[in-house]
Amino acid sequence: MSSFGAGKTKEVIFSVEDGSVKMFLRGHPVPMLIPDELAPTYSLDTHSELPSCRLKLDWVYGYRGRDCRANLYLLPTGEIVYFVASVAVLYIVEEQGQRHYLGHNDDIKCLAIHPDMVTIATGQVVGTTKEGKPLPPHVRIWDSVSLSTLHVLGLGVFDRAVCCVGFSKSNGGNLLCAVDESNDHMLSVWDWAKETKVVDVKCSNEAVLVATFHPTDPTVLITCRKTHIYFWTLEGGSLSKRQGLFEVPEDFGPVRTVAEGHGDTLYVGTTHNSILQGSVHTGFLLLVQGHVEELWGLATHPSQAQFVTCGQDKLVHLWSSESHQPLWSRIIEDPARSAGFHPSGSVLAVGTVTGRWLLLDTETHDLVAIHTDGNEQISVVKLSPDGAYLAVGSHDNLVYVYTVDQGGRKVSRLGKCSGHSSFITHLDWAQDSSCFVTNSGDYEILYWDPATCKQITSADAVRNVEWATATCVLGFGVFGIWSKGADGTDNHTVACSHDGKLLASADDFGKVHLFSYPCCQPRALSHKYGGHSSHVTNVAFLWDDSMALTTGGKDTSVLQWRVV
């Protein structure tokens, strides 16, 4: 028996006699079986290797319009610039291409364009590192051509989030105003090229929605609250204000911001996190669509460049990863939590937070059937590789098993698997559909026979099973994803590429990791990628492994990564 890790409590214990590795999460032992072909040469001291492949951000789905204003502009290059999560997106519509500024490490909240139409300012919220240390809010000034960072303002100055920024317009854009979302909503003015603060003042007790300079007078600033507008005069190193008249309509409506395009073209950002393109004469078409609330469900089509997302906003989108547009969208009655395709791709299962789950026809997006198992969240819905079974994992600690006929359009309850002492979190089927494995909220790994709905307790019966997928975060092939001191909730999900060479993980700190598979050495090496600004809730590879998809939780974004 050997162990890995310093201190009184070993992190990982390897037992040659049992052919197993045991790790610990929050004091819970998690035993994992080693396949016979790996056991004779396995050692905890073997160093893991980085994968030869990497991920490159290819496309960002969505737009942050639900709580941000003035964040959509047209650049002279023909690109529209906006943001979602911690990514500033430069989207050239005519060529259907995107570039990305990735300098931020948490949610971007505001954006401003310099009069030179090249320099851009973006402000972000306060964040937290994996170790619990604060990531201070700040403003980044960057070049939209080279995507290089020119200046960083306000580290250690701003309190919660920079919610508004604006360049002066009539003096060469030498000054930048910014508003902090602190209790006093501090308004500050900066000489951004020198990275020095000129002046600051308490702005309001209410949230500030807009802060901008007067178009012709660089000593006058304008701020808007929900009910008032203020004019500020910059004079002698101080700011003085006077109140203006401002009639607020009862309903702001769905429009958040409008950007002028070429000719009579307009780009309209809405509170539903969508961007429309068109004119008042020709009407408007959807250009960018996203989710509006927290996003959890993700599944990739078994044979096409398509994927499904679903979330708290009760929306189910089937996307094309090539056109970057939804092929269809459907509103369902309950917030969604999980999704899974039939092996044919013709039927989609969607699990909700209420215990209900749906079957949808992917061609017609019609409702095929609706079922209810318990009254708690359905955390996973997964069809067997042969299409004969459907497993429905619930937060009531049970897995409900159905037989499947007619290409996924008819299901019959076979039974339920009882044995977990906490809610079901993940599930993977064997390649031959003979069994499946589950993880639970208290770090259990259990194996099941779908035909009998009985637990398989013999280690030898499951030790050498070839798994069709690897989405369980607990198991011998994936335990290297866990970092030192992990509390068991740090990794939301994993996904193995279909060629069995790569393992992607989605963590609680906004990061996507790429490991070599199998990932069976403690604290394995990985390539790490930012882009999401909150917990990354799901990850999956496209059917041909050309792309990986990740979903953000509170940032509501979907990021598409090219495997290079």
Match 């031959």 to its residue by tokens: 432
Radius of gyration in angstroms for the set of CA atoms belonging to the chain, rounded to a whole number: 26
Q: What dihedral do alpha carbons 291, 296, 302, 303 form, nearest 10°?
A: 20
CA distance 8 to 27: 12
Rounded Cα gap, residues 267 and 80, in angstroms: 8
How many Cβ atoms from other residues are within 10 Å of residue 95's Cβ?
Answer: 9
Q: So what's the pLDDT on residue 147?
A: 98
**Residue (of 543, 55, 553) closest to 300 by Cα position:** 543
- Rounded Cα distance, 89 and 62, in Å: 10
CA angle 287, 292, 298 (to 5 degrees): 90
The amino acid sitting at 484 is K
Residue 459: helix, strand or coil by DSSP? Answer: helix
DSSP string, 518-551: S--STT---EEE---SS-EEEEEE-TTSSEEEEE
| Ordered mean pLDDT values, 10 residues apiece, the chain (564 residues) | 50 91 91 95 93 98 84 94 96 95 95 97 90 90 98 95 93 94 93 96 85 86 76 89 53 55 81 80 82 94 98 96 95 98 98 98 95 98 98 99 96 98 98 98 97 97 98 97 82 95 93 97 95 92 98 92 98
**Is the bond leading into 518 cis (omega within 30 degrees of zero)?**
yes
Spatial contact of 467 and 437, defined as CB atoms under 8 Å apart: yes
Whose structure tokens read 């390649």? 431
Burial class (CB in 10 A: 0-12, 13-18, 19+), 256: buried
The strand pair at 186-191 and 2-4 is best described as unpaired
Q: Taking a C-beta distance cutoff of 8 angstroms, is the pair 57, 102 a contact?
A: yes
- Measured CA angle at 58 (ends 67, 72), to 5 deg: 30
Model pLDDT, residue 256: 65
- Burial-class residue 30 by CB neighbours within 10 Å (0-12, 13-18, 19+): buried
CB 329 within 8 A of CB 311: no
Q: What is the chain's length?
A: 564
| CA end-to-end distance (rounded Å), the chain | 39
User: Rounded CA gap, 391 and 90, in Å?
Assistant: 41
**What is the number of other CB atoms lying within 10 angstroms of the CB of residue 128?**
12
Domains and CATH numbers, the chain: 44-54+290-563 (2.130.10.10), 63-288 (2.130.10.10)
pLDDT at 225: 74
Question: Omega before 35 cis (within 30°)?
Answer: no
What's the pLDDT at 541?
Answer: 99
Distance of CA 81 to the CA centre of its chain: 20
Question: What DSSP character marks residue 430?
Answer: B
- Give, as one character, the DSSP assignment of residue 479: G
Residue 213 DSSP SS3: strand
Q: How far is CA 485 from the centre of its chain?
A: 24
The rounded distance, in Å, linking the Cα atoms of 385 and 342 is 8
Residue 415: CA count within 13 A, CB half-sphere: 10
Choose among 117, 112, 115, 116: nearest CA to 139.
112
How many CA atoms within 13 Å lie on the side-chain side of 295?
30
Please give the pLDDT value at position 275: 84
Q: Give Cβ neighbours of residue 279 (< 8 Å, ≥ 6 apart).
A: 263, 264, 265, 266
Find the angle CA(251)-CA(254)-CA(260) to the nearest 5 degrees. 120
Question: What Cα–Cα distance (Å) separates residue 521 from each residue in 3, 52, 181, 481, 489?
Answer: 12, 17, 44, 9, 19
C-alpha torsion sign, points 240, 181, 222, 166? positive
